[in-house]
Chain A
Amino acid sequence: MNAVEASNITKRFGQTVALNDVHITVADGETHALVGRNGAGKSTLVSMLTGLNRPDSGEITFRGEPAPALSDRQAWRTKVACVYQKSTIIPTLTVAENLFINRQNLDGGPVISWSRLRRTAGDLLSEYGVDVDPNTDAVDLTVEQRQLVEIARALSFGAKFIILDEPTAQLDAPAIERLFERMRSLRAAGVTFLFISHHLQEIFEICQTVTVFRDARHIVTSPVADLSKDQLVEAMTGEAVGLGAGSNRPAIADDSVLDVQGLALGKHFRGIDLSVRKGEVVGIAGSGSSGKVELGEAIVGLRKADAGTVAVQGRTLKPGSVPAALAGGVGFVPEDRHKEGFVPGMSIGENSTFPITKRLGRFGFISGRKRAEVAEKMIADLDIKTSGPDQDVADLSGGNQQKVVMARALSSDPALLVLMDPTAGVDVKSKENLLDAVDRAAAGGAAVLVISDELDDLRPCDRVLVMFHGSVAGEFPAGWTDNELVSVIEGIGESSGE
Chain B
Amino acid sequence: ACNRGDATSSGDSSGVGPIGIDFPRADSDFWNSYNKYVPTTAKDLGINLMAPTNSQNDVTKLVANVQALTAQGAKAIVMAPQDTGAIASTIAQLNTQKIPVVTVDTRPDKGGAYMVVRADNKAYGEKACKFLGDKLQGKGKIVEFEGDLSSINGRDRSQAFGDCMKQNYPGITVFAEPTNWEGAKASAALQTDLTANPDINGIYMQAGGVFLAPTLQLLKSTGHLIPAGQPGHISIISNDGIPQEFDAIRQGQIDATVSQPADLYAKWALFYAKAAVEGKTFKPGATDHNSTILDVGNGQLEDQLPAPLVTKDNVDDKSLWGNQVAK
A and B touch in the complex (CB under 8 A): no
* Interface positions of A (Cβ within 8 A of B): none
B residues contacting A by CB (< 8 A) are none
